[in-house]
Amino acid sequence: MSDAHAYPHEPTGVETRKLGFWVFLSTEILFFGTLITTFLIFKGRDFPGIKLTDVYDIPFTSVSSFVLLMSSLTMVLAHNALETNDQEKTRVWLLATAMLGAVFLAGQIYEFTEFYHKGFELSTNIFSSTFYVLTGFHGLHVFIGVVLLLALWGIGQRQKGLSLNEGMNLEFIALYWHFVDIVWIVLFTVVYLI
Amino acid sequence: MTKIIEPKKQRNIFSRPSSEEGVWSWITTVDHKRIGIMYGYAAFFFLLVGGLEALLLRIQLSQPDNNFLSAAEYNAMFTMHGTTMIFLAIMPISAAFFNYLLPLQIGARDVAFPRLNALSFWIFIAGGLFLYSTFLFGTAGAPEGGYLAEEVSRLASAPNGGWFGYQPNAGLKYSPGTAMDYWAIGLQILGIASLVSAFNFITTILNMRTKGMRLMRMPVFTWMTFAVSFLLAFSLPIIAIALFFVTFDRQFGTTFFLTEGGGDPVLWQHLFWLFGHPEVYILILPAFGIVSEVLPTFSRKPLFGYPAIVFAGFGIAFIGFGVWAHHMFASAISPVAQAGFGLSTMIIAVPTGVKIFNWLGTIWGGRLTLNTPMLFALGFIGMFVIGGLSGVTHSVVPADTQQTDTYYIVAHFHYVLFGGALFGIFSGLYFWFPKVWGRMYNETMGKIHFWLMIIGFNLTFGPMHWLGLQGQVRRTWVYAEETNLGFWNLIVTIGAFILAIATLVFMANWIYSRRKGEVAPFDPWDARTIEWSIPSPTPVWNFSNAPEVKSLDDFWHQKYGEDEDGRAVRREGTDELLLQLEEEGLNPKEEIHLPSPSYFPVVMAFGLPFLGYAIIYKSIPLALIGVIMLLIGGFGWGTEPLEEEFESSEEEPESGESKNYE
């Protein structure tokens, strides 16, 4: 392995995989940006039928948003623990992060089901369509994040544990997870609050 | 003779692919050169298919009131022609150049993420096959009472809503059947391929440059790759989301683009062209890069105004995001927006013009060698200027609304994308032929190819200007005898067949020269950039030692100095230097560890079409197959190391396991 690294590279000083990951995240901004723009364009229009404001429950969504925000904290704690090579704590915090993410997802599924029962369905009107596609796309990201976290936790069960520099990197998953959290802050504000 | 060390042990669920020849070595390869070659052949195959579709269109239009194709077949053919040429031919053939040349030009051993590179390629193949499977499985119905209802042949079972997929025409109501779903999901898959390759190339350029290869010492082709990668990374997400909406509209009853449910068809146009216009530059900038390498080499002068050409490239890429609505002047957008986009369209001509003058300045006073790549590069400048000028006429809104949907537009963008992009690509194919295959192409056949092509090209697309101005409408399968458009349409069709013959000459040359061509020296053109300082064909390991770059056009400056008048003078000892470079290039002193081949990119890539079929046919089993393939691929990928562990080098020579490479 080390021989490959003798070949000079990384003139930017940023580790190659991390750099690639940042580029990936920058395109994610455009994915969500396009969805949010569409949502805002349709928000001001007249549409028939039931509206989000008729069905939503802001206190409930606030709590699940809080849960997701807390998962960012546990993610940071996992990263910190790994920096001091405390494998035990790293695993605990990783699992906590995954669980908090799963709680958020469960909340979203519950919310969607509630909305459906109240008649706010995917094809009810243009507003409901954009709502489900936008928040669903975010939910998919959280789901992928939970899978990655659990995979990382699984890898951490091995004898030699996790490392900051090798294999599926905790740092990248942390970056991804924080990104998904930040997007949710924007979504929560745009979709529910304004 | 060099040792490439074999992996010591298999440590994965699946044994690691280890063959170095034969089909499997290509399927599992992560070598950027092999991936580049595969990109090239696959894209050329699709170029032929797209060309065949164009010939069918031209036969239908060769005379008035013709009945060669039905209306439905015609719609399918022009849709597939456009989609194929853009997404399956020009984009991937540019990707072939990126893959092969980028690491060589920046002095790297491979791209930043070799397996991700293989993944991009296989997703491209999977997406292309998925899109074309519409001819086997797709159905294109006709709207009730529509005049297309009479017949639906296999040829007409392809997507038929145009490569732009305008809504609501491409929606379920007016395009029933599954064909447009194949289109939407196929483009989605192809988009993933390009997006992944964009991450890879941006990272490679930023982080894999060799010693001394500062940004402003990079060859222009590398710079243009950089610009194109940014364009891909920032424009593809937009079309991806728009295609999501289309798929939801067609599959799940939403109305994003349908007015009856409060949606907005113009929103599709905005999203599509917000991607679609940067896409135009995605197609043309690689050709800009190629001719910027070819012209200085055969003019024996440095590129005129290197920083200007680099910044103009990025200027084009940046402004390219601000001109999209000039595709929509005939749509419902406000006069203020029309004026604004008209202005930005004029402005984007400025950096493009800067480049043209740079190229002219480069050949000005140079000692020109008029061989095939140079001829194609010069042809490129001429044809691209014509296409660029007709492009500027579109910025005049009142004129543009007259030209919209006529053959004038068809003429314009073929001058840019065929006379521009494809001429540039042919120039590059000839220019780097010796580097890739270690043999010279046949110059006479190359020149015949060029002259047939430039004559055929102008016969095909030149008359379309006046056909369009006379009012011939594009995307229409017949025109009436009384319109008097028959003569020029016949000329256009003849031109198209000359282009087909030219392509056959090119293929004959390629096949002949690869086997029987003269053996190429490693620097046949007395070239300027460092990819010519290594043996031809390129060794698997690229550079034996990481080169150290001291200036722009480093290889040239190793060979040439200047006299008092600033003329290039070959340095003493250059011949010895070249001999030494070749010797070193073939015989690296150290053991070289290359990334090991992998099955997982292929497995992952071919999971995606299953997900596509699952959406179209609402099939859980197909979805499961797709997800399982993605999971196996992802899991295997995540747990296998990039390189297998190696025998320690002391034991190696006796073990007899090392492979020898010539």
For chain A, the residue count is 194
How far is the alpha carbon of A155 from chain B, nearest alpha carbon, in Å?
9
Task: Tell me the residue type at A64.
Answer: S
Query: Is the pLDDT assigned to residue A96 strictly greater than 80?
Result: yes
Residues A188, A114: Cα–Cα separation, whole Å: 18
CB distance B385 to B356 below 8 Å:
yes
AA identity, residue B194: S
- How far is B599 from B541, CA to CA, in rounded Å? 21
Range in A33-37, A82-86, B279-283, B459-463 the model is least confident about: A82-86
Q: Which of B516, B562, B623, B625 is nearest to B251 (CA)?
A: B623
Q: State the Cα–Cα distance between residues B280 and B590, nearest whole angstrom.
A: 44
Q: Which residues pair with B570 in a beta bridge?
A: B560
Structural element, H or E, at residue B659: strand B659-661
Reported as a single tens digit per residue, the pLDDT across B231-262 is 999 999 999 999 999 999 999 989 899 988 88
Q: Is the distance from CB of B117 to CB of B202 less than 8 angstroms?
A: no
The b/e string for A142-175 (b: 16+ C-beta within 10 A; e otherwise) is beebbebbbbbbebbeeeeebeeeeeebbbbbbb
Whether the Cβ atoms of residue A137 and residue A116 lie closer than 8 Å to each other: no
B638–chain A nearest CA distance, Å? 6
Whether residue B655 has pLDDT greater than 50: no
**Which residues numbered 501-560 in B keep a CB inside 8 Å of some CB on A?**
546
SS3 B660: strand
Q: Is B356 on the interface with A (CB under 8 A)?
A: no
Q: Which of B373, B505, B501, B497 is nearest to B445 (CA)?
A: B505
Closest CA to B204 of B71, B83, B110, B315: B110
Are B162 and B78 within 8 A, CB to CB? yes
Does the structure show a pLDDT above 60 at B44?
Answer: yes
**Given a cut of 80, is residue B653 above it in pLDDT?**
no
Q: A–B: how many Cβ contacts below 8 A? A: 127
Q: Is the pLDDT of residue B649 over 70?
A: no
- Closest Cα in chain A, distance from residue B323 (Å): 17
B168-183: pLDDT as tens digits? 889 988 888 899 999 9
Of B241, B546, B639, the CB nearest to A35: B241
Q: For residue A50, give Cα distances in angstroms to A56, B49, B169, B249.
A: 11, 49, 28, 20
- pTM (predicted TM-score): 0.92
Q: Which residues in chain B are closer than 8 Å to A50, comparing Cβ atoms?
A: none
Largest CA distance in chain A: 65
Average pLDDT over every residue of B424-429:
97
Contact B118, B136 (CB under 8 A): no
Q: Residue ranges of the domains in chain A?
A: 12-43+52-193
Q: Do B643 and A4 touch (CB under 8 A)?
A: yes
A42 touches chain B (CB under 8 A): yes
pLDDT for res B634: 87
Per CB-CB distance under 8 Å, the chain A contacts of B237 are 27-28, 30-31, 33-34
Beta strands per DSSP E along B142-237: none
* Helix intervals (H) in B10-158: 23-27, 32-61, 71-83, 91-105, 114-132, 134-137
Contact call for B261 and A126, based on CB within 8 A: yes
Looking at the complex, report in whole angstroms how far the Cα of residue A141 sits from the nearest Cα belonging to chain B: 14
pLDDT band at B143 (very low <50, low <70, confident <90, very high): low
Report the C-alpha dihedral over residues B241, B245, B247, B248, rounded to 10 degrees.
130
DSSP for residue B84? I
Q: What's CA B173's distance to the chain center, in Å?
A: 34
Residue % of chain A over a pLDDT of 90: 58
Q: How far is CA A155 from CA A148, A159, A167, B640, in A?
A: 10, 9, 9, 13
Residue B660 reports pLDDT greater than 50: no
DSSP states of B596-650:
PP-SHHHHHHTHHHHHHHHHHHT-HHHHHHHHHHHHHHHHHHHHS-SS--B--TT
Cβ-based burial of B651 (10 A; exposed 0-12, middle 13-18, buried ≥19): exposed
The confidence score (pLDDT) of residue A168 equals: 59
What secondary structure letter does DSSP report for B303? Answer: P
Q: Indicate the pLDDT class of residue B564, thresholds 50, 70 and 90.
A: confident
Please check whether residue B246 is in contact with residue A129, taking contact to mean a CB–CB distance below 8 angstroms.
no
> What number of other Cβ atoms are within 10 A of residue B656's Cβ?
6
Q: Which of residues 43-82 of B touch A (CB under 8 A)?
A: none
Residue B543 in tokens: 């550079």
A44 touches chain B (CB under 8 A): no
Lowest mean pLDDT among A166-180, B40-54, B215-229: A166-180
Architecture of domain A12-43+52-193: Up-down Bundle (1.20)
Sign of CA dihedral B92, B95, B101, B103: negative
Chain B residue numbers with beta carbons less than 8 Å from the beta carbon of A30 are 234, 237-238
Which residue carries 């020009």 as its tokens? B90
Pull the structure tokens for residue B647.
Answer: 């025998």
Whether the Cβ atoms of residue B499 and residue B456 lie closer than 8 Å to each other? yes
Give Cα separations from B76 to B141, B161, B524 (angstroms).
12, 8, 45
B52-85 core/surface letters (b: 16 or more CB in 10 A; e: else): ebbbbbbebbbbbebeebbbbbbbbbbbbbbbbb
Q: Indicate the DSSP class of residue B652.
A: H
Quick check: B240 and B184 in contact, CB under 8 A? Answer: no
- Residue-wise pLDDT tens digits, B284-332: 999 999 999 999 999 999 999 999 999 999 999 999 999 999 999 998 8
Q: Is residue B656 very low, low, confident or very high in pLDDT (cuts 50, 70, 90)? A: very low
Confidence of residue B6 (pLDDT cuts 50, 70, 90): very low
H-only helix segments in B517-591:
554-559, 574-586
User: Cis peptide before B641, with omega less than 30 degrees from 0?
Assistant: no
Q: Residue B478: helix, strand or coil by DSSP?
A: coil
Question: B518-556: string of b/e by CB count within 10 Å (b at 16+)?
Answer: eebbbbebbbbbbbbbbbbebbbbbbbebbebeebbbbb
In the 8-state DSSP scheme, what is residue A167?
Answer: S
Q: Residue A62's pLDDT is what? A: 94
What is the tens place of the pLDDT at every residue in B405-416?
Answer: 999 999 999 999
Confidence band (pLDDT; 50, 70, 90) for A151? confident
DSSP state, B440?
-
The percent of residues above 90 in pLDDT, for chain B, comes to 72
CA distances from A116 to A120, A187, B209, B449, B615 (A): 5, 20, 54, 63, 22
Distance CA A140, CA A173 (A): 15
Residue B13 CB burial class (10 angstroms; 0-12, 13-18, ≥19) = exposed
Inspect the interface and report whether the beta carbons of B264 and A28 lie closer than 8 Å.
no
- Band of the pLDDT at A1, cuts 50, 70, 90? very low
Peptide bond into A11 cis (omega under 30): no
CB within 8 Å: B112 and A123: no
Region A127-151 average pLDDT? 94
pLDDT band of B166, cuts 50, 70, 90 = very high
B-chain residue closest to A4, CA distance: B593
Kindly state the average pLDDT of the residues B104-130. Answer: 94
Per residue in B346-405, pLDDT (tens digit) is 999 999 999 999 999 999 999 999 999 999 999 999 999 999 999 999 999 999 999 999
- Can you give the length of chain B in residues? 662
Give CA B456 to chain center in angstroms: 22
